[in-house]
Amino acid sequence: MTKFIKGFCGSLFNPKFVPTGLRVALFVGTVLLMINHGNALLQGQMSRARWISAALTYCVPYLVSIHGQYASDSRKRS
């Protein structure tokens, strides 16, 4: 498990995985942002805490995408 975690952390900025990760994060993150914060955003009621939450909304799909790509790549190499 430790080997997988180290490999995953190393793959977070792997040029092979980053473009797809960014596209997924942009699309899924924007959908989630609008679902979770759309009303506050449109009404100009975004607090500091909401902006932090909004930023994390983009981080989660990025991490999930990288994880999927890394796991798939690891299986192919095994």
Average pLDDT, 10 consecutive residues per value, the chain (78 residues): 87 97 98 97 96 96 97 90
Whether residue 34 is contained in a domain is answered as yes
Whether residue 28 is contained in a domain is answered as yes
Q: CB atoms < 10 A from the CB of 76, how many?
A: 7
pLDDT computed for residue 18 by the predictor = 98
Domains contained in the chain, number: 1
Whether residue 2 is contained in a domain is answered as no
Whether residue 61 is contained in a domain is answered as yes
CB-neighbour burial class of residue 66 (10 A; exposed 0-12, middle 13-18, buried 19+): buried
Contact status, residue 74 vs residue 36, Cβ threshold 8 Å: no
Instruction: Tell if the pTM clears 0.85, that is, is over it.
Output: yes
Range of the domain at 21: 17-73
Residues 34 and 31: their CA atoms lie apart, in Å, by 5
Whether residue 51 is contained in a domain is answered as yes
pLDDT computed for residue 60 by the predictor = 96
Whether residue 64 is contained in a domain is answered as yes
